[in-house]
């Protein structure tokens, strides 16, 4: 007797051991068709897995998230199968499921070309149609190693050698292709219908840059054609938001060969920047930060002292002048410590919060550069808080409050938090770590935030919290950070006079809210697809005349709006109004103001919103009020 308990609590009794498939077909033909795998007592298994004891069983169908994963995993095998058929002397390695798809890494004597990819995809479709049964077998370890070695599959043999000895080694076969895999897989290749190979890229064996560079083929797989279409559409939509593309279209910035990884800001992009910088300056002033400015180029000696020279040397731009070596600052903290050190500080002075829109340069690996998101020259909304250990928690609470307010103002409501605690290699005493980790945790609790714990992921000099935001298409960006530092103040000789007249080393908190302004602006561009809220828009409105009769009036309207501090331009060109409206709509201006003879005689203006709505005629003062309200609520 085998009793199978299903998720709805019902039980099915069989007088013999059954497979997952048997149970599915005993329930109904629809389920039989849709089933791709099973979960027996919480463990994912194949459909032909034999259940010998009473068990809890969930049948995984194509419609379950896990079912789709099984399909993708089997698609990866299908890819490997096709590659082995077309290029028999390829070595296969690993082929896992990833978000929205899968990949498989291969070792082959020559690079795969885009034409190869098309041929591979075609072969995959053929193999799928062959309706090959996918069968699992448990193998003996050394036999499996020999099996793969005989086929010249040395990477596979290596993988087996690294699998713990007490685990079953399962091999899956479909036709003449056999691959090591934990499974589960769909029962036959015919279940794989909707997939597409996306791109080929390099990837190091085992992710180690000392190893061979393998060729990774990425693919996507879905349950239905429609799902796949939606996915490809989603990619297209994301591409339309690309900050590099929009930056060009809206004339915000450019990058050129002579300054790789560095931004040339154009007037409109810089206007956007200034809104953000000035907003942050105001927020920090209101929260008792003191803004400072420190040098770009500092003698190597200071970087040796701070430890950057040892740990970060290859990422620093260095300049030798007058027989001295200088480094362009990659971080602001050593400079901030120098400011702190000027004049003797008392415990009464603490906490001291020094802020800088600090321009930093880091010589990032050329292959790592990416538009404004990963650059070599960037500006941080950086600040360092010097305080006592007892003040940590209060400071963290204040910071989180500040950060939430800022993200909210920029329209980001979803906040993801990660707390990283002490790594194995670290400085500072256990007592210090105990105290500061619990201070961070308490502060997070006080802020009513959920967080993910990352044990051992802290920096060697202190624990940290990372804050990420989610944009309007669901992508997650890490921006904010708060790091405790037990090391640098001491290395650089910062101290204060304590209550008992002793000299103490302050704790330093590194913190940023936006992170890199360049990157944050890139995120903003993509989040809004270039249609910025009024308070940020580089140009908030444009005044358009219908014909040359209204040129003087249009100029007066523009001047009046500008005199109230708004960023308003005018377009008095000799063009049709529809033409001008189209152009400024493509530039995504929040408002367009139209003046013709009717407006001149009524002393009003016609207003068109970015959504294309005609707001009708109104006096200029009414628009000014509207602008003020809209800017105040930052939408």
Partner RNA sequence: GCCCAUGUAGCUCAGUGGUAGAGCACUCCCUUGGUAAGGGAGAGGUCGCCAGUUCAAUUCUGGUCAUGGGCUCCA
Q: Which stretch binds RNA (CB under 7 A): 83-91, 308-316, 380-388, 627-635?
A: 308-316
Among positions 304, 577, 620, 631, the unique one binding RNA when judged by CB under 7 A: 577
- Nearer Cβ to RNA, position 265 or 312? 312
Active-site residue 308, yes or no? no
Active-site residue 333, yes or no? yes
248-277 residues near RNA, rule: CB under 7 A: 248, 255, 257, 260-261
> Can you give 512-570 as a three-state secondary structure string?
EEEEEHHHHHHHHHHHHCCCCCCCCCCCCEEEEECCHHHHHHHHHHHHHHHHCCCCEEE
- Nearer Cβ to RNA, position 83 or 128? 83
| Per CB under 7 A, 576 contacts RNA | yes
| Per CB under 7 A, 590 contacts RNA | no
Q: Which stretch binds RNA (CB under 7 A): 35-43, 66-74, 266-274, 547-555?
A: 547-555
Find all residues with CB under 8 Å of 78, minimum gap 6, and list them. 124, 127, 128, 174, 189, 192, 195
Active-site residue 382, yes or no? yes
Say if residue 177 is exposed, middle or buried (CB neighbours under 10 Å; 0-12, 13-18, 19+).
buried
| Per CB under 7 A, 311 contacts RNA | yes
Half-sphere exposure of 165 (CA within 13 A, CB side): 1
Among positions 78, 557, 594, 623, the unique one binding RNA when judged by CB under 7 A: 594
Active-site residue 567, yes or no? no
Torsion over CA: 119, 124, 129, 132 (sign): positive
d(CA 40, CA 6) in angstroms, rounded, equals 10
Considering only CA atoms, which of 55, 63, 66 is closest in space to residue 4? 55
Residue 115, φ and ψ in degrees, nearest 5: -65, -40
Contact letters for RNA, residues 364-403 (x by CB under 7 A): xxxxxxxx--------------------------------
Q: Considering the complex, what minimum distance in angstroms separates the CB of residue 241 from RNA?
A: 12
Among positions 552, 614, 625, 629, the unique one binding RNA when judged by CB under 7 A: 614
Considering only CA atoms, which of 191, 197, 193, 202 is closest in space to residue 220? 197
Residue 589, φ and ψ in degrees, nearest 5: -70, 140
* Run of H or E residues at 335: helix 333-341
- CB neighbourhood size of 504 (10 A): 18
Contact letters for RNA, residues 39-78 (x by CB under 7 A): ----------------------------------------
Q: Considering the complex, what minimum distance in angstroms separates the CB of residue 14 from RNA?
A: 45
Active-site residue 384, yes or no? yes
Structure tokens at 518: 């360049």
330-359 residues near RNA, rule: CB under 7 A: 330-331
d(CA 589, CA 318) in angstroms, rounded, equals 43
Considering only CA atoms, which of 36, 48, 112, 110 is closest in space to residue 80? 112
List beta partners, residue 457.
Answer: none
464-503 residues near RNA, rule: CB under 7 A: none
Active-site residue 362, yes or no? yes
| Per CB under 7 A, 548 contacts RNA | yes
Q: Considering the complex, what minimum distance in angstroms separates the CB of residue 534 from RNA?
A: 17
- Nearer Cβ to RNA, position 261 or 489? 261
For the chain, the maximum distance between any two Cα atoms, rounded to a whole number of angstroms, is 95
| Per CB under 7 A, 30 contacts RNA | no
* Run of H or E residues at 69: helix 65-86
Torsion over CA: 486, 487, 488, 489 (sign): positive
List 46, 381, 382, 571, catalytic entry: 382
Number of residues that bind RNA (CB under 7 A): 65
182-221 residues near RNA, rule: CB under 7 A: 199-204, 207-209, 213, 215-216
Considering only CA atoms, which of 339, 371, 372 is closest in space to residue 355? 339
Half-sphere exposure of 490 (CA within 13 A, CB side): 9
Q: Which stretch binds RNA (CB under 7 A): 4-12, 110-118, 340-348, 553-561?
A: 110-118
Active-site residue 275, yes or no? no
Among positions 17, 28, 114, 455, the unique one binding RNA when judged by CB under 7 A: 114
- Nearer Cβ to RNA, position 504 or 604? 604
List 284, 380, 391, 570, catalytic entry: 380
- Nearer Cβ to RNA, position 177 or 461? 461
Q: Considering the complex, what minimum distance in angstroms separates the CB of residue 467 from RNA?
A: 15
d(CA 106, CA 117) in angstroms, rounded, equals 13
d(CA 133, CA 629) in angstroms, rounded, equals 66
Q: Considering the complex, what minimum distance in angstroms separates the CB of residue 316 from RNA?
A: 8
Residue 542, φ and ψ in degrees, nearest 5: -130, 140
- Nearer Cβ to RNA, position 346 or 579? 579
List beta partners, residue 591.
Answer: 541, 609
Active site members: 333, 362, 380, 382, 384, 464, 510
User: Residues in the site for RNA, rule: CB under 7 A?
Assistant: 111, 113-114, 199-204, 207-209, 213, 215-216, 244, 248, 255, 257, 260-261, 307-308, 311-312, 315, 330-331, 362, 364-371, 459-461, 546-549, 574-579, 581-582, 585-586, 592, 594-599, 606, 608, 612, 614
């Amino acid at each position: 007797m085998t009793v199978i308990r299903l998720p709805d609590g019902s039980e099915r009794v069989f007088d013999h051991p059954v497979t997952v498939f048997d149970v599915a077909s005993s329930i109904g033909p629809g389920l039989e068709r849709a089933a791709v795998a099973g979960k027996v007592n919480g463990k994912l298994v194949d459909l032909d897995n034999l259940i010998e004891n009473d068990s809890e069983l969930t049948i995984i169908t194509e419609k379950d998230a896990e079912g789709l994963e099984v399909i993708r995993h089997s698609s990866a095998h299908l890819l490997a199968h096709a590659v082995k058929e077309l290029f028999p002397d390829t070595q296969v390695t690993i082929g896992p499921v990833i978000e929205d798809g899968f990949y498989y890494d291969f070792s082959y004597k020559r690079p795969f070309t885009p034409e190869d990819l098309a041929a591979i995809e075609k072969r995959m479709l053929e193999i799928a149609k062959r309706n090959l049964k996918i069968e699992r077998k448990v193998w003996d370890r050394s036999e499996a190693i020999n099996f793969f070695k005989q086929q010249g599959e040395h990477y596979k043999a290596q993988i087996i050698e690294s699998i713990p000895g007490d685990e079953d080694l399962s091999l899956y076969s479909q036709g003449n292709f056999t691959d090591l895999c934990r499974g589960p897989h769909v029962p036959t290749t015919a279940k794989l219908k909707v997939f597409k190979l996306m791109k080929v890229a390099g990837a190091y064996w085992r992710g180690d840059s000392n190893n061979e560079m393998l060729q990774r083929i990425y693919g996507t797989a879905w349950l239905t054609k429609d799902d796949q279409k939606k996915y490809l559409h989603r990619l297209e939509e994301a591409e339309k938001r690309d900050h590099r593309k929009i930056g060009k279209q809206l004339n915000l910035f450019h990058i050129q060969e002579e300054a790789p990884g560095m931004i040339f800001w154009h007037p409109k992009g810089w206007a956007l920047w200034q809104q953000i910088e000035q907003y942050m300056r105001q927020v920090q002033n209101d929260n008792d930060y003191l803004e400072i400015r420190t040098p770009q180029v500092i003698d190597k000696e200071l970087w040796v002292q701070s430890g950057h020279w040892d740990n970060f040397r290859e990422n620093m731009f260095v300049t030798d002048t007058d027989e001295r070596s200088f480094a362009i600052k990659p971080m602001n903290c050593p400079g901030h410590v120098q400011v702190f050190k000027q004049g003797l500080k008392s415990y009464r002075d603490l906490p001291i919060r020094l802020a800088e829109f600090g321009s930093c340069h880091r010589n990032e690996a050329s292959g790592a550069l990416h538009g404004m998101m990963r650059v070599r020259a960037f500006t941080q909304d950086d600040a360092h808080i010097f305080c006592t250990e007892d003040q940590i928690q209060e400071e963290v609470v204040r910071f989180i409050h500040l950060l939430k307010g800022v993200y909210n103002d920029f329209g980001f409501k979803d906040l993801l938090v990660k707390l990283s605690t002490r790594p194995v290699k670290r400085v500072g005493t256990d007592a210090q770590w105990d105290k500061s980790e619990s201070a961070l945790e308490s502060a997070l609790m006080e802020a009513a935030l959920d967080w993910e714990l990352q044990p051992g992921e802290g920096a060697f000099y202190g624990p940290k919290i990372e804050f990420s935001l989610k944009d309007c298409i669901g992508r997650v960006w890490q921006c904010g950070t708060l790091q405790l530092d037990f090391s640098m103040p001491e290395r650089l000789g910062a101290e204060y006079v304590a209550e008992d007249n002793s000299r103490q080393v302050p704790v330093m908190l590194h913190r940023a809210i936006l992170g890199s302004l360049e990157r944050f602006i890139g995120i903003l561009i993509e989040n809004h697809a270039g249609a910025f809220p009024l308070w940020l828009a580089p140009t908030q409105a444009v005044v358009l005349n219908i014909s040359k009769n209204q040129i003087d009036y249009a100029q007066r309207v523009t001047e009046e709006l500008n005199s109230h501090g708004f960023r308003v331009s005018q377009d008095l060109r000799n063009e049709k109004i529809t033409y001008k409206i189209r152009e400024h709509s493509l530039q995504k201006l929040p408002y367009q103001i139209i003046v013709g003879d009717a407006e001149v005689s009524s002393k009003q203006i016609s207003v068109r919103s970015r959504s294309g709505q005609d707001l009708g005629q109104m006096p200029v003062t009414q628009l000014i009020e509207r602008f003020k309200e809209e800017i105040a609520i930052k939408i």
